Amino acid sequence: MHEKGEIVKEYLRKYPSISSKKLAETIIAEVPGLFRDYDAARSAIRYYRGAQGDKNRKSMDPNGFIPKVIVPPGEPENYEPYLLPADAYPIIVGADAHIPYHDQDALEIFIERAASLKAKTILLLGDWVDFYQLSKYIKDPRMRDTAEEIATFREILAVMRNAVPKARIVYKYGNHDERFDNYIMHNAPALFSVERVHLDAVLGLKEIGGEIVQNKRVIRAGHLNLIHGHEYRFAISNPVNPARGLYLRAKKSAVCAHFHQSSDHAEQDISGKIVNCWSVGCLCGLHPQYMPLNKWNHGFAEITMDDDYYNVRNRKIINYRLLQ
């Protein structure tokens, strides 16, 4: 029994949290012939765990016990990517309209291009509504209210749906979109359990067959990752090249918005694989009161698939002309 006992204790130290049943099956599979059968293996495991009654525990060296490790159950948050299906292409990606501060002409160009591209997926990559009054920053009380912003978004959403009636519309929350639910949780937490109070209900996406992606989840289109941009804590709020900043954190091919700039960055890894990142332009006004001088530009992205390889066109709108 000494040799068997040492092997059992070795397995108990290696797998302290596995059940006696599972550990017995493992030992029988990995050390055939050590025990005559499953019951003998499980009995030995229970013996060295001190689980065979007071009599056996008293006759055993107190230092020989290797009890099972039991940790109280936790509540880990589920963070799974949102996967776009293989038939989602072509995809058009637009972000940062900041309604009601959207640029009407830029937005019309975006929707017209979605229609001419015959986009199968319209990906709204965050901050389509500004939620100015819900900001934690100083606000001008004379500016538009939240209800008006939402009503304007729903009007634009209807225009989008009419222009591309069969497209899948996916709305991923950006940092401005998160202001809505955060405001309720902070100021009226008792109402947060009411389903119709949440932003996903008031935006009207579900009414036209749209989908919501929240909780900072990554969207994946094949091997390409798409985020709004606020999911990472960038070292500087507005980097010289947002796409390079995204590359330094993601280490995978990815697209982001958030910075209101069109940029791209590519590097080759040690195996010769190219990792490419992009940041897309915005669809809002370019000279807001809080920062009239900036490096912003209008734009959006198009993603197509060709022979199992995706292609990203990071398109700029300059002087209301869509550049090739």
How do residues 282-324 score in pLDDT, each as one tens digit? 999 999 988 899 999 999 999 999 877 899 999 999 999 999 7
CA 291 vs CA 63, 125, 285, 287, 313: distances in Å:
69, 22, 11, 7, 28
| Per-residue model confidence as pLDDT tens digits over 25-40 | 999 999 999 999 999 9
User: Which residues are registered as beta bridge partners of 211?
Assistant: 170
| Per-residue model confidence as pLDDT tens digits over 32-71 | 999 999 999 999 998 888 887 777 766 666 666 677 777 7
Q: Tell me the percentage of the chain whose pLDDT exceeds 70.
A: 94
Q: Above 90 in pLDDT, residue 159?
A: yes
**What is the rounded CA–CA span in Å between residue 281 and residue 293?**
16
Residue-level pLDDT at 235? 56
Mean pLDDT score, 96-118 = 97
CB 132 within 8 A of CB 143: yes
Sheet containing strand 224-226, edge to edge, reads: 82-83, 219-221, 224-226, 254-256, 274-279, 263-268
Domain ranges of the chain: 2-64, 82-322
Residue 171 phi/psi, 5-degree rounding, is: -110, 115
Residue-level pLDDT at 281? 98
pTM: 0.79
Question: Which of the four pLDDT bands, split at 50, 70 and 90, describes residue 113?
Answer: very high
CB 263 within 8 A of CB 278: yes
Residue-level pLDDT at 59? 67
CA angle centred on 78, ends 75 and 82, rounded to 5°: 170
**What is the rounded CA–CA span in Å between residue 164 and residue 154?**
15
Sign of CA dihedral 58, 62, 64, 66: positive
Residue-level pLDDT at 290? 84
| Per-residue model confidence as pLDDT tens digits over 120-138 | 999 999 999 999 999 887 6
Residue-level pLDDT at 74? 82
CA 106 vs CA 45, 116, 225: distances in Å:
70, 15, 25
CA 307 vs CA 221, 227, 276, 288, 304: distances in Å:
14, 24, 18, 42, 10
For strand 211-213 and strand 168-172, is the pairing parallel, antiparallel, or unpaired?
A: parallel
Question: Which of the four pLDDT bands, split at 50, 70 and 90, describes residue 4?
Answer: confident
Considering the segment(s) 82-322 as one domain, its CATH architecture is 4-Layer Sandwich (3.60)
For strand 91-94 and strand 121-124, is the pairing parallel, antiparallel, or unpaired?
A: parallel
